[in-house]
Copies of this chain bind each other. A is one copy, B any other.
Amino acid sequence: MKLNRSTDMALRIAMFTAASEARTTVDELATQLSLPRSHVAKVVQRLQRLGVLVTIRGRSGGVAFAEHAGELTVGQVVRAFEGYDEVVSCEQPACPLLGGCRLRGELRRAQAAFLAVLDDVRLGDLVDGPSGRLLLTLGATAAGT
């Protein structure tokens, strides 16, 4: 059971930018998080639409964690990036048992329980206290700065 790669990247970027008071760029994020630049650019765009990141224009512009995004939850980010997909694909290809299947409902309940845990975790919770500073140090080390 795996989250999509884009969800994983979104969570890393949200966590890292939440820890940082400075603005950053797609290039810096790609370097500090050891992620492919083209994917980072797409994920950053979606995080902006979600209100997690904001764009700062101008010569010293870049992206930054939005002022109140610490109140958004991990569950909200995961739902936004995962969409409404179920954990199994009953329709592609179509499962002949679908009309009599009780399993699908149970898997939906399990998925809801998964998301409910993450709905209780704010993005801000991930970087409170020394954890946030440690994340920045780790990113800087990865970037070799």
Contacts and interface: CB of A to CB of B under 8 A. Distances in A.
Given A106-B74, A114-B110, A96 B2 contact: no
In the complex, the count of this chain's copies comes to 2
Contact of A125 (B100, B102, B117): B102
Given A2-B1, A111-B114, A117-B106, A138 B96 contact: yes
A30 to B, nearest CB: 12
Interface in A1-38: 1-4, 7-8, 11-12, 15-16, 32-34
Contacts of A101: 15, 126, 135
Interface string A84-104: 010111000111111111110
Contacts of A137: 100
Contact of A111 (B1, B99, B100, B106): B1
A80 interface: no
A123 to B, nearest CB: 9
Given A1-B3, A1-B4, A2-B1, A103 B85 contact: no
Given A8-B88, A99-B134, A100-B138, 15 more contacts: A1-B3, A1-B82, A1-B85, A2-B88, A3-B88, A11-B88, A16-B97, A34-B96, A100-B135, A101-B135, A102-B126, A106-B118, A109-B117, A113-B116, A114-B114
